Structure 1
Amino acid sequence: MARSTARKRALNTLYEADEKGQEILSLLAERIDHPGAQTPLPEYAIEIIQGVQEHQRTIDFALNEYSPSWKVRRMAVVDRNILRIAVWEMRYNDEVPEKVAIDEAISLSKTLSDAESPSFIHGLLSAVNDHRDEIAEVVAPVQEEPDVSVEDSDAASSIGSESGDVASSDDDVDLQPQDIATPSQADVSEGDNASAQRDELNSETDAELKSERVTVHDEDSQEESDKAENLETTSDSVQDITVESEHSQG
């Protein structure tokens, strides 16, 4: 089967995976197992799909680097997948001349995309081709689990408990003494000054509270004294009235 047809079949699969947000290799496996009404995928179409998936980070980086306007994520879905196929062929398939890869991409865009796409794709692929030897391979970072023995883990927990600073992530397990910051003399002085200010503020607050309590006590004592005087005056008045009453009856 001609490679032009294989490119078209590869584009169909890449476009569908991109539209659905599905993993490329997952959809490829479905298409290989269940081709449906279509003929089985050509070997070269499978090679393109696998190649684009494997090197997509590098391919998209190159497209973003040399695109004069749109970045990959903002391009039309069909356009960015046409571009991905062409960049893969130019960079990773020595059997396909760069000019052929560019011409095939332009041909696909004329058939499947809008009127402005062919010139955009032509210009971008030409720029990528001019700098293809400068494009560095972009590899996804591999996060390895730290190899921590049980003894190391227990020791780290013991150190964290004694210092009151318990590690909360795997990155803290391998801390070395030189990685632990110690307070400078300036930090100690600032701490002492802050402590002195807090003590002074606490002393002022205690003095104010004592003053308020004395004032309240004096006010309560005065109030009690006034009440006692009023009570004595009232008692004297009652006695005067009783004496007058007895005189009147006599």
Structure 2
Amino acid sequence: MVGRSDARRSVLQMLYLTDQNPDADVHWIRQSISEELNDEELTDFAWQLFTGVREQRDALDTQISEVADNWRIERMAPTDRNVLRLGCYEMQSVGTPTPVVLNESIELAREFGSENSGAFVNGILDRIASK
């Protein structure tokens, strides 16, 4: 069964793709998400996350940078950077409870990032949530 965790995973992969290739075709991205999730409600949720992060990217990066002591956003690992953007956006704009966003973000960071990504993401998002 596919759920919101799968939608977030799909969004993270597409955010990573567009971070590396800013000219990626958004219609192809939407189609890829739809085919992967095979559920209209989850596809809509994923698309809301994806487009929201893309539209608010600069503001999200500013928020992340303000609490990421000694870390410039462009120097963060691409996976960590995109998990942070996704978590920050979802926490502030979607209304998902903060503990859920923190847990989901940490899990994504552990799955796709480095050995220390979970702790790094937890620390940054916790500071953002506390503001």
Question: TM-score band, normalised by the shorter chain?
Answer: 0.7 to 0.9
Higher helix share: 2
Higher RCO (CA < 8 A, seq sep 6+):
2
Letter in 1 for 2:125: L
Tell me which residue corresponds to 1:28.
Answer: 26
Which sections of structure 1, spanning at least 5 residues, go unmatched?
A: 132-250
Tell me which residue corresponds to 1:120.
Answer: 120
Structure 2 counterpart SS, 1:42: helix
1:69–1:9 CA distance, 2 compared to 1 (3 A): same
Which whole-Å CA distance do the structure 2 matches of 1:73 and 1:15 have between them? 13
TM-score of the superposed pair, with normalisation by structure 1? 0.47
Which whole-Å CA distance do the structure 2 matches of 1:119 and 1:11 have between them? 18
Measure how far apart 1:20 and its partner are. Answer: 1.5
Aligned pairs for 1:11-26 (under 5 A) are 11-22=12-23
Is 1:86 the counterpart of 2:104 in the alignment? no
Which whole-Å CA distance do the structure 1 matches of 2:12 and 2:33 have between them? 15
Please report the RMSD computed on the Cα atoms of aligned residues, expressed in angstroms: 2.0
8 A Cα contact 1:6 1:44, kept in partner: yes
Percentage of pairs with the same residue: 28
- Say which one has the larger Rg: 1
Measure how far apart 1:38 and its partner are. Answer: 3.8
1:54–1:35 CA distance, 2 compared to 1 (3 A): closer
Which whole-Å CA distance do the structure 2 matches of 1:53 and 1:102 have between them? 20
Measure how far apart 1:57 and its partner are. Answer: 1.5
Aligned pairs, how many?
A: 127
TM-score of the superposed pair, with normalisation by structure 2? 0.87
